[in-house]
């Protein structure tokens, strides 16, 4: 997947997860949740990207 930050909003996509990430990709969901709680950037994060 990927993640992107734009004006303080973080968008994260986990490949193959559908709309229930913990059900379909539990390991990736755990990493996402841990990173969020610890205030760390998401894996693969791009910051201040320009949206066309």
| pLDDT the model gives residue 49 | 53
**pLDDT tops 60 at residue 50:** no
| pLDDT the model gives residue 35 | 92
What are the angstrom distances between the C-alpha of 10 and each of 1, 15, 29, 47?
13, 16, 15, 9
Q: Could you tell me the residue ranges of all domains in the chain?
A: 2-38
7-48 tens-digit pLDDT = 888 888 888 888 899 999 999 999 999 999 999 888 777 665
Strands 9-13 and 2-6: antiparallel
| pLDDT the model gives residue 1 | 80
| pLDDT the model gives residue 41 | 86
């Amino acid at each position: 997947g990927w993640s992107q930050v734009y004006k303080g909003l973080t968008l994260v996509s986990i490949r193959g997860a559908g709309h229930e990430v913990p059900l379909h990709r539990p390991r990736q969901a755990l990493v996402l949740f841990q990173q969020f709680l610890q205030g760390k950037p998401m894996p693969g994060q791009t910051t201040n990207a320009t949206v066309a």
